Chain A
Amino acid sequence: MGRKPCVRQRRGARAVDGYPGALGEEGPSPCWKAGEGLEGDRQAWAEPEGQEPFSGRGGQADPRRSAHGRVEKPRGHWIALPRGDPGPRLLRLVVTMLGNLTLTLARGPPCTPTQIQGLRPMASRLWLFESACPVSVSWLAQTLLPCKSASCTDPRPLPENKTPVLPSHLRAHTAGGRPRVEELALRLDEPRRAGRSAWRDEELGRPGAACEARGAASGAALERRGSAGCARVKRPRCGDWGLDVPRAWDPRRGRAGVAVRGAGAGSRRGTTRACGEGVLLLALALGGLPRAGAVEEEPGAQGSTEGFQVVTFEWYHVQDPYIIALWILVASLAKIVFHLSHKVTSVVPESALLIVLGLALGGIVWAADHIASFTLTPTVFFFYLLPPIVLDAGYFMPNRLFFGNLGTILLYAVIGTVWNAATTGLSLYGVFLSGLMGDLKIGLLDFLLFGSLIAAVDPVAVLAVFEEVHVNEVLFIIVFGESLLNDAVTVVLYNVFESFVNLGGDKVTGVDCVKGIVSFFVVSLGGTLVGVIFAFLLSLVTRFTKHVRIIEPGFVFVISYLSYLTSEMLSLSAILAITFCGICCQKYVKANISEQSATTVRYTMKMLASGAETIIFMFLGISAVDPLIWTWNTAFVLLTLVFISVYRAIGVALQTWVLNRYRMVQLEIIDQVVMSYGGLRGAVAYALVVLLDEKKVKEKNLFVSTTIIVVFFTVIFQGLTIKPLVQWLKVKRSEHREPKLNEKLHGRAFDHILSAIEDISGQIGHNYLRDKWSNFDRKFLSKVLMRRSAQKSRDRILNVFHELNLKDAISYVAEGERRGSLAFIRSPSTDNMVNVDFNTPRPSTTSMEASVSYLLRENASAVCLDMQSLEQRRRSIRDTEDMVTHHTLQQYLYKPRQEYKHLYSRHELTPSEDEKQDKEIFHRTMRKRLESFKSAKLGINQNKKAAKLYKRERAQKRRNSSIPNGKLPVESSLHNFPIKERELEFSDPEETPGYEAEEMSGGIEFLANVTKDTAADSSTGIDNPVFAPDEDLGALAGVPPWLSPEETVVPSQRARVQIPCSPDNFRRLAPIRLSTKSSDSFLLADGAEEASRAGPPEATHM
């Protein structure tokens, strides 16, 4: 606050001369308008942050609250609601500067105003300086610019009618330095002003003027301007610098001017007294905020310049999105950087790193700007950042685990949260009464309000930390479920206490308390209901998206988001709504949408969620860098920390004691420790505290600072230490294991057994309910919500079988490769056995990466990505014949390698590729000779084979028709292509061994990649042309004629033995027509994909 005095002085001086005029100063100049409009806007939303005294609090931003009368809705706030100063000034400066420099250079030195819109050489030069040392130069700039206004201390730069209008951005910058000072003065003083409320009233009156203005002007742009005017009106009051701009100026500006003038006309004082400088400064400082600025400025600018501009530099035009994008970029880059060092990320949770980064960035912004330009605002948080995270949580919720522990979760979420809120609030109040905290203007209700917002465990923080600490799933689901479900409690408690606080302590009646309790049930059940309804809707919609595959994933997001908004609208618990929407729809959606869409949904969701999380933590850090919000009270802060930890621990212990009497799986002491310690607070608490009304909650700043401290402490300190703690306590970790077929099968049997035993013993337990539900689901829900094909083909046992098979096959192939040949796989005796469908993209259950790589492979190899056309293709017998023919052809026709390049990769060609190709051609030729030789000698009849294949197809078909599986045919046709294309390739590695080792080594290396690939998505694995074909082992319908017992490459006996699954005992995968499911990271998530996806081409088994 060191800088405050001088600033204030300055301000004081201004006030003296400016104040009287301030009221009348309404006739703002256009230039004001520009900047100010923005500012007005900004301010409107910045307000919840509590800085601006006149800000209309909460009304707009607060999703959590129901309507709050005042203040227009913000028109769009983005990531940061700069308080006071809109722009990322630094950024703006740099960008604008660069732009202008470029332009200037491009056009040569003498840059006339008309050349570049409004750019004057002087100004652009000044900019350079200014960016270097903003304040002094801008001041200089101001003095340099001629000012017309009589009363102005500085010469006014723009003669009214003659000079082209300075574009807003330019203006903003020239004046940039000063406004900062003033504004700072404003900000510093405002909040604490005693007379504030008086102002406020006046301000309230003001909007009338603005309205007038608005009335005069028309159009949306105008409206904004109107509000700008309004904001402006407020300004003088606090700042007291009356600004005036000659009226004459207005006309130029076009409508904006008019609008403002309209407001001005209503003002008391006609004189335009202002210091233009002030105006300029303000406009600029304020950031020339973006949208409004851009809109407003343009007309004026255009009017003033003649001719067509080849290039214009329109920063304002893009400012907001640009800044948002930049922030996101920064956050993402930061993530990359964090993960450069595995050591760091394995110790420090990412969320903590992000917060620290945020602090650093905030520091930089502050240093450059002296204003906290960016903060995490409740609106942005609740409307844009939170939903993706919660949706992600719901959509990937391991349902069985979740519902199995629902009772426990609910107890912790409801009772635990209430307990935390009450004890924390009351204890703080008790300490306060003892006088330890000094003199604070807080009542009991304020403490309870604070307790309620600080009580809730935060889903974002918990997820961020627990995902890195792999505790066992029961523990995870309990803590995480609690953090999700406690939202309803938090909302209700918060709303109740807030309204109590607003009401005033003495007016709270018992009826209100009862209402509060009732509202809890309404809010929570209502939210859940909304979620379920939307889930139903969503499932239903995805059932019919067969022909619009491309937009399929969109439905998932849009409808879920609507559930969030709807329940917000009804003032129900939005988090519950979107969570349950995700939970309920997952099964049906995953069954309905196509494999590609499922992957898209999965990745988009993960991307959004993790992006949002990144931004949240970073902005939490940034938001903390603002001296204005910091109010320190050691006792309060420390005690809060102590109380929330202690009471959480006590609460957990008490509840667990009760629960353990009913739980089958007991929660041990160490589990309880982790649960207490894992009670992280996060952005939800912060957003809620920022929403508080400073008028009502006098010590809001103290609350804000404390919340920030608590959040930082829990996320950074506890997040940092929880991992060692978990290790030290030897908490049972979660193990990621592929389910074995036996386990799956017997697991299923156990379910049946348990429910039967429950039936027999006449008890209604989990198993009974689950059984009932799954019957109901199978009989009714699935029928309605799933497409027919999906209903048929969902069986998890098969999935597991499928997956295991795939895995075996891959390792088998890899093994074969290692031994130098794949030949053994297809030795004639076994070729019929090996029909594992490698084609289908089957993500391994646990690793996401695997599924990506599969997807990529799939896409890379499938020539056509047009899902619709794929869908619509129908296989016919003719196709089969075609295939046979094609197949035959393919073996004998040489196909230039070139084609595969396009198929597989455009960017992964290594220099040695050409060499390899040459070799391949050679080999291929040799092979063909060998083949013809062999077939002649051995009498292998290709045609016979083909006939056999054909026959099989027919038989298969018949079988299929008995089981109507509409999807299958589609699928196989889908695969025909790639298979054919790939097959040739496929044979490459294996035929080579006889010829030379280099080729082989390539293959081996490559296969090594493949195996690695299931875990990590390595680009070589994906793109390597050799790989994809290997997946198609089974796809080779015909016996490659070149393989024969005589083949030199038949593996040794030993090799056969050691290979994980030699062809003989390779599981015979009957033509599986089932869907392959994309399984999610949660094992239990029932990822049912489209049947069609899964089905390997019919051709493949044989």
Chain B
Amino acid sequence: MQVDLSLPPPRYLAGDLAIWIFILAELLAFGVFFAAYAFTRARHPALFEAGQQLLDRNAGAINTLLLLSASALVVRAVQGAARGDGARAAPWLLGAIVCGLAFLGVKGHEYALAFAAGVNLSGGPFQMFYLSLTFFHFMHVILGLVILAVLWHGLRRGHYGPGAMNGLESGAAYWHMVDLVWLILFPLVYVIH
């Protein structure tokens, strides 16, 4: 990728203001939920400790890598489109979608094991928070993938390019938000003891 460093960076918000308002609202909802998790964990440290031992941290780590890769691929796609090379950039987006689907597969496998072990929303504070936070995020990944699929379709048809980046940048920003939330969720729920 080539970035011309001689030009001052353009002072503009990548993507639509509307998506940023939505992203902020989503982050606020996640933020309050995370705070509630931390608050409750502080009140039941032993219970949460025991619950966290049962989580598969390797699966969480793989998923972290998958989402980070997806975000990097989305960046490549956006850069490609910005250079006017939308059609050649489309495969990057397809790669991101594959990573996202893989995330859903890994997470789905984790859920299947958890449900088989009797984990459910009414199974005490840890199980409630684990399922609520991860499922809320899981649904965001699905929505993000729907958005990426729409963008991929548009990119292949040449809808995005220099001067017509709004839709692509907005969708990419949303995907990065989904990624960012996982980067907080993973250490918070899986790692920190």
The answer to whether A binds B is no
Binding site for B on A (CB under 8 A): none
Binding site for A on B (CB under 8 A): none
